[in-house]
């Protein structure tokens, strides 16, 4: 929600959008590092954000992205099958499957996947000489650039899996098709080069941020999120049917984070894919689809095999890949999106085939799709951000000067301070934020940051908090009245007294502190 406000704000006010100093003040942070930037979506939604606010804009994009993914997957399946109904099923599987439902819990960048089936469709159109080479280059350039501005992580993965698909297609195809695949390589590279030129400012700040980050920290962080081998057949709490039977087991998947346990397909659809692979193995397309599906599954398992939440110690192919530059910053479970696309295509192809048992096939597919329906009764679909009237009205203007530095509690990702800031149109700056799991360099080794993030209260906390506030040039402290934590006690020990205004406790920091 913060990002949806930030990009229009930065563009309209002529400030550097890549390194906002309104968070992690006074130095700021590199916005390209955590995947939350989504500049393409922010600019597209600017009219809604500026008129209705970030919460409404967030809800709109959360509805639109799965529909776009389903639509483009449907178009791809329709091109391959020529059948409406089976292609519709393929679109539903990709656009509303487990991957999408899980990441809708908060990762808008990771549900921005509609360009994946769109790119596959365009490649097939060029291989079949339906579109000209010039049109192909233009379309691929646009898609490369947009995907970078939606999710650089997904673009990196898509390039890898796309290259794999082309190699598999070359190895399994007849000579004429091989020549077509070879001819498409240079135009694709040209499109990538043009896209890099067009998005060069974003790429510059992305690479600059990677140079400032702790690559080993990132490998340890991203390497902790690995798919469980049983997740393909065992649903988590994100899935509606059957999650209650496996609650004890699925709660151990992927560090107990349901938004990253995205691999559930269910036994029925897996059975259909297996039947399709066996009966159509002689076809090059089948080998490509199966190869992408298998590779996606294996890579999503991470560096070591986990079964039912237990690490076996068995090394996996992701281990050496995870040591490479750039790939060390990616979370392997997210590769499942490409497996879902391959799955959707295979189900659509299987269903579109004329068969005397068409009714049975449809019954199986409908049952398989039903197993993917999200758990709509789960509490996480009914979340409400804490948004006091202090920020949604003009009350903040009475207490906060333009661009003054604020310390807000609950701190950082533990609360809604970034939404509060967005609601005010970036009226104030903060000594916190969450644009990346890793704090910016200037904060990374701050002696009081860990205590502040974890709301720890102990010996030396009063002095440590005061020094932190002086060090970060804080002029005002804001505390959510309904979620105060230990902070009023600490501030009271400093002889600071609050004013309560529209759901917020406001503490003014004496100017003498900065001179003491």
Instruction: Note whether residue 40 is domain-resident.
Output: no
The reply to whether 396 and 316 lie within a common domain is: no
pLDDT at residue 261 tops 70: yes
- Residues 338, 449 within the same domain: no
Burial class, 320, CB count within 10 angstroms (exposed 0-12 / middle 13-18 / buried 19+): exposed
- What is the pLDDT at residue 256? 84
Cα(49)–Cα(134) distance, integer angstroms = 36
Contact 478, 505 (CB under 8 A): yes
Non-local CB neighbours of 483 within 8 Å, separated by 6+ positions: 386, 409, 410, 415
Number of domains in the chain: 2
Same domain? For 406 and 436 the reply is: yes
Do 410 and 347 lie in a common domain?
A: no
pLDDT at 76 over 60: yes
Confidence (pLDDT) at 212: 84
Domain membership of residue 310 (yes or no) is: yes
What backbone phi and psi angles, to 5 degrees, belong to 374? -65, 160
Q: pLDDT digit string (tens) for 366-409?
A: 999 999 999 988 888 887 888 999 999 999 999 999 999 999 99
Residues 6+ positions from 47 with CB-CB distance below 8 Å: none
pLDDT attached to residue 164: 96
For residue 42, being part of any structural domain is answered with: no
Give the model's pLDDT for residue 74: 98
Contact 39, 81 (CB under 8 A): no
Length of the chain: 516
Instruction: Say if residue 88's pLDDT is above 70.
Output: yes
Query: Which band of pLDDT confidence, cut at 50, 70 and 90, is reported for residue 460?
Result: confident
Sign of CA dihedral 30, 32, 33, 38: positive
Mean pLDDT of 411-422: 92
Q: Phi first, then psi: what are they for 306, rounded to 5°?
A: -115, 130
Whether residues 210 and 108 fall in one domain: yes
Q: What confidence score (pLDDT) does residue 374 get?
A: 93
The tokens for 81 are 């099958």
Look up the domain containing 411 and give its range: 2-31+386-515
Q: Where among 379, 397, 422 does a domain terminate?
A: 379
Same domain for 171 and 266:
yes
User: Based on the domain organization, do 320 and 351 belong to the same domain?
Assistant: yes
How far, in Å, CA of 400 to CA of 472, rounded?
17
Q: Are residues 132 and 264 in the same domain?
A: yes
260 within domain boundaries: yes
Residue 41 lies in a domain: no
pLDDT of residue 455: 64
- The per-residue pLDDT for range 124-160, each reduced to its tens digit, is 999 999 999 999 999 999 999 999 999 999 999 999 9
Residue 516 scores a pLDDT above 60: no
Domain check: are 410 and 372 in the same one? no
Residue 433: inside a domain: yes
Buried b (16+ CB within 10 A) or exposed e, 351-365: bbeeeeeeeebeebb
């Amino acid at each position: 929600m913060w990002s949806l406000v930030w990009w229009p704000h930065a563009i309209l006010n002529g400030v550097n959008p890549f390194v906002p100093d309104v968070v992690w003040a006074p130095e700021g942070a590199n916005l390209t590092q955590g995947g939350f930037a989504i500049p393409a979506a922010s600019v597209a939604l600017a009219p809604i954000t500026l008129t209705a606010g970030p919460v409404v804009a967030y809800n709109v994009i959360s509805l639109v992205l799965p529909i776009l993914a389903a639509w483009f997957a449907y178009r791809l399946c329709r091109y391959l099958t020529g059948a409406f109904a089976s292609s519709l099923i393929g679109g539903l599987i990709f656009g509303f499957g487990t991957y999408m439902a899980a990441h809708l819990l908060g990762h808008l960048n990771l549900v921005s996947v509609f360009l994946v089936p769109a790119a596959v469709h365009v490649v097939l159109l060029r291989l079949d000489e339906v579109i000209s080479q010039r049109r192909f280059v233009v379309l691929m350039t646009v898609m490369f650039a947009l995907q970078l501005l939606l999710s650089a992580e997904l673009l990196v993965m898509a390039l890898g899996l796309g290259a794999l698909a082309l190699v598999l297609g070359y190895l399994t195809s007849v000579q004429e098709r091989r020549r077509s695949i070879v001819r498409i390589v240079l135009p694709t590279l040209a499109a990538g080069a043009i896209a890099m030129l067009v998005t060069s400012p974003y790429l510059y700040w992305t690479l600059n941020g990677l140079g400032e980050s702790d690559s080993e920290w990132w490998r340890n962080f991203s390497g902790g999120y690995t798919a469980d081998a049983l997740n393909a057949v065992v649903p988590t709490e994100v899935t509606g049917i059957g999650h209650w039977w496996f609650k004890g087991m699925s709660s151990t998947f992927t560090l107990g984070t349901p938004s990253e346990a995205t691999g559930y397909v269910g036994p029925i659809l897996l059975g259909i894919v297996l039947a399709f692979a066996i009966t159509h193995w002689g076809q090059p397309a089948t080998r490509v689809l199966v190869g992408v599906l298998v590779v996606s599954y294996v890579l999503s398992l991470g560096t070591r095999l986990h079964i039912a939440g237990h690490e076996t110690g068995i090394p996996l192919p992701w281990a050496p890949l995870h040591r490479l530059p750039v790939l060390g910053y990616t979370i392997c479970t997210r590769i499942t999106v490409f497996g879902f696309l391959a799955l959707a295509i295979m189900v659509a192809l299987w269903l579109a085939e004329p068969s005397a048992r068409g009714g049975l096939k449809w019954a199986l597919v409908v049952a398989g799709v039903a197993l993917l329906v999200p758990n709509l009764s789960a509490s996480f679909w009914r979340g409400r951000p804490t948004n006091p009237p202090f920020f949604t009205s003009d009350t903040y203007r009475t207490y906060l000067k333009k661009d003054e530095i604020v310390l807000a509690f609950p701190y950082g990702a533990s609360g809604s301070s970034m939404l509060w800031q967005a609601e005010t149109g970036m009226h104030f700056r903060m000594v916190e934020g969450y644009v990346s799991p890793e704090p910016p360099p200037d904060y990374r080794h701050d002696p009081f940051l860990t205590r502040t993030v974890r709301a720890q209260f102990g010996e030396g906390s009063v002095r440590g908090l005061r020094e932190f506030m002086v060090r970060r040039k804080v002029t005002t402290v804001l505390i959510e009245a309904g979620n105060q934590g230990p902070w009023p006690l600490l501030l009271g020990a400093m002889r600071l007294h609050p004013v309560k205004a529209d759901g917020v406790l406001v503490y003014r920091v004496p100017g003498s502190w900065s001179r003491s």
